[in-house]
Structure 1
Amino acid sequence: MTGDGVSATGTVGGGASGADSTAGAGGAHVTLQDVARRAEVSLATASRVLNGTTQVRADLRERVLAAASELAYAPNAHAQALARASSHSIGLICHDVSDPYFAAIARGVTRTAADHGLLVMLASTFRDPAREVDYVAMLRAQRARAILLIGSGFEDREWEHAMSAELDPYIRTGGRVAVLSRHRSLRVDTVQPENREGATALARALLDLGHRDFAVLTGPRALTTVSDRLGGFRDALTDAGIDLPDDQIIEESFTRDGGYAAATELIRRGSRATCVFALTDVMAIGALSAFRDHGVDVPGQVSLAGFDDIPIVRDLVPPLTTVALPLEELGERVMNLALREPARRSRVERITGKVVLRASTTAPRRRHAG
């Protein structure tokens, strides 16, 4: 499948029909979300009805089944296929494989998979919760040996229920699941970067440089990574008796362009921040470009810090202060968890980040960013 967020070391959902994604009348692509919309029920309810994992109210069940019939949507016999354990493929679902953060992690996954003679199929969701659920359904249909969810979970009850309804029967029939980052409701093996703790440590380091006026460039609040990093940074400021005003928190997309737009808005507001924290390095790169384009010197007028330590930030002018995570190692670890035999309790491997101070942050020299 091309042009829909799916790329390949392998290709997800290339066949005609899937466990929860089929070609309907006239060859149109029908997704679980289409069925839920036609039945006027939540994505979670549609998933529960079609997977038969829990009891659903009779009238809702009938509406879902009627919608599935009208759309020519039918689940595949994925459980029998999984039981035969014939697949040598691993499904890796991330937010955006073109993002250097995910690309580095995917490198660790694919290298470890190759060592075990396994093929990795990559899919990018572009942070669409419904698309993530649909891709899990496709991977079940492809009889993937394991499914890896790489990236932030969503603070979204409907997504949590829908994802659990997909993963629970997959796991019961022999599939393996491992995730990277915090996914509150999923009872699966997890590699968890200590995002909150890393942001707290970064804030303390910036306070030690003498900064007292801060602004934050953040992604969507529904992402657990955002709530953890923003929460940890804010906690450290609060402990130091420093307020982070709401108008100094700018929300944009977790992209380079999002960082550029957020920094531009900060300048427009006449921010007095002497230090700006972008919740990802990719956003920080965009912010650095915005500051340069608007004649704001980094770090002469405003210091700038990111999070993740993607390789390029060491080569920027100035090189970027960040919280370093071992990105390829994260990929290796989550892949190794998926290859291990399941345990009675979900395993959690916590990875600590390290604050790396570089030339983009110095002691404050002026009282405002622009």
Structure 2
Amino acid sequence: MAVTLGDVARHAGVSLATASRALNGSARSVTEELSAKVRASADALGYLPNAPAQALARSSGATIGVLLHDVADPYFGGIARGIGDAAARAGLLSLVTSTDGDPRRELEAIRMLHAHRARAIILAGSAYNDVSVIQQLDEALTAYQEQGGRVAAITDHGPLYDTVQVDNKAGAASLTHSMAQLGHDHFAVITGPERMRVAEDRLDGVLDALSENGLTLPEGMLQRTEFTREGGRAAMARILDVARESGTPLPTAVLALSDICAAGVLAELRDRGISVPDEISVAGFDDIPLATDLAPALSTVRLPLARMGESAVRLALREGGGREGRADTASARAEVVLRDSTAAPRTD
């Protein structure tokens, strides 16, 4: 079996990108110590660099590929704007592809960007939880990196990639604690599908915080849906129906773990004649521009969406190999913002 660049990288203890730069003549600098280490591993394993890899590593492609789930979602729109601005400042074009959260479309897009010699690929959508899906995407991205491409991700997509770390779990926990401090002790939660790691991270934060406050979610008060306005509205309808059919009190606080879902929640409550926040408090997550335009203005967890996109571009284009050739990281702080959609529960 032929020795691959990935074999050399593992033997040398460096990233694929660093191994590629050391052997394929990339213009991006690699320290002499790392270069010598990679060359020694290549010699020991009998690796032979190929001409196409060298050509791509030396090329100066003018495109950054951006993969996200839904270009119509303001969350992704904010990130894409930051990516586009940072790419333009670097004299590059950002090419945005919306995958609708379908890993098959994401895989196809990665292969097409590889074939067209994109300078870098930024993974702006949530990572997947399915092991077989992760393996297929990693294989395609590894092949791209072996020929000199760069990959950066927003939220954790694994140790192979430079990452803008977003602490979704901590943000969701902080929001839950804030609501508990207002006096809420009967919660409902609307989150995304299990296949999305971001949805699971946010849900874990909520559940941990509820446990720390001695609270649990009653039967039917946890609903999963797509992170869309329609999904949020349907999930809120199910929560209300469960409460009515079981004869249990309505939740005093609903945490919709994306703002676009929360917009649907507010619409459903309005149409059912339920006052927010007098009867039910509602909070979202992301702080998209729409959050302040809703009536009432939406409490949420603020993420610096544009800065997250800009940070991903900086990671993808940075010179050198990061910390001794390992994948590098940047961080994005989550901040709870309480507005008119939340208040202390009524005591009457």
TM-score class, shorter-chain normalisation, is 0.7 to 0.9
Alignment match, 1:272: 250
Q: Matches of residues 216-255 of structure 1 in structure 2 within 5 Å?
A: 216-255=189-228
- Partner SS for 1:269: helix
Unpaired segments ≥5 residues, structure 2: 8-50, 244-248
Aligned pair count? 295
The aligned counterpart of 1:322 is 300
Q: CA RMSD in A?
A: 2.0
What TM-score does the superposition give when structure 1 sets the normalisation length? 0.76
- Whether contact under 8 Å (1:92, 1:122) holds in the other structure is yes
What displacement does 1:151 show?
A: 2.0
Distance of 1:79 and 1:277 partners within structure 2: 49
C-alpha distance in 1 between matches for 2:52 and 2:289: 40
Query: Given the alignment of the two structures, is residue 189 of structure 1 paired with residue 162 of structure 2, yes or no?
Result: yes
Q: CA deviation at 1:167?
A: 1.0
Query: Do residues 298 (structure 1) and 298 (structure 2) align?
Result: no
- d(CA) in 1 for partners of 2:181 and 2:227? 28
The answer to whether residue 144 in structure 2 is matched with residue 170 in structure 1 is yes
Q: Does 1:363 align with 2:339?
A: no
Q: Pairwise mapping of residues 12-161 of structure 1 onto structure 2 (< 5 A)?
A: 79=53, 82-161=56-135
* Higher mean displacement: 171-180 or 240-249: 240-249
Q: Secondary structure of the equivalent of 1:247? A: coil
Give, in whole Å, the separation in 2 of the partners of 1:363 and 1:266. 20
Q: Within the alignment, does 1:309 sit opposite 2:282 as a pair?
A: no
Rounded to whole Å, the distance in 2 between the matches of 1:314 and 1:249 is 26
User: 1:198 corresponds to which residue?
Assistant: 171
1:245–1:82 distance in 2 versus 1, CA, 3 Å: farther
> 2: distance between equivalents of 1:284 and 1:81?
49
What is the identity percentage for the equivalent residue pairs of Structure 1 and Structure 2?
45
Deviations 1:98-138 (A, max 9, x none): 10000011110000100111011110010111211111111
In the alignment, what sits opposite 2:153? 179
Residue in structure 1 matched with residue 15 of structure 2 by the alignment: none
**Kept after mapping to 2: 8 A contact 1:90/1:145:** yes
CA-CA distance at 1:80 after TM superposition: 6.0
Cα distance in structure 2, aligned partners of 1:251 and 1:207: 22
**TM value normalised by structure 2:** 0.81
For the residues of structure 1 that align with 2:286 and 2:263, how far apart are their CA atoms? 12
2:336 is paired with a residue whose SS is strand
Q: CA deviation at 1:164?
A: 1.0
Aligned equivalent of 1:209: 182
* Offset, 1:96: 0.6
Change (3 A) 1:130 1:366: farther
| 3-state DSSP of counterpart to 2:264 | helix
Would the aligned equivalents of 1:301 and 1:366 in 2 still touch at CA under 8 Å?
no
Structure 2 partner of 1:69? none
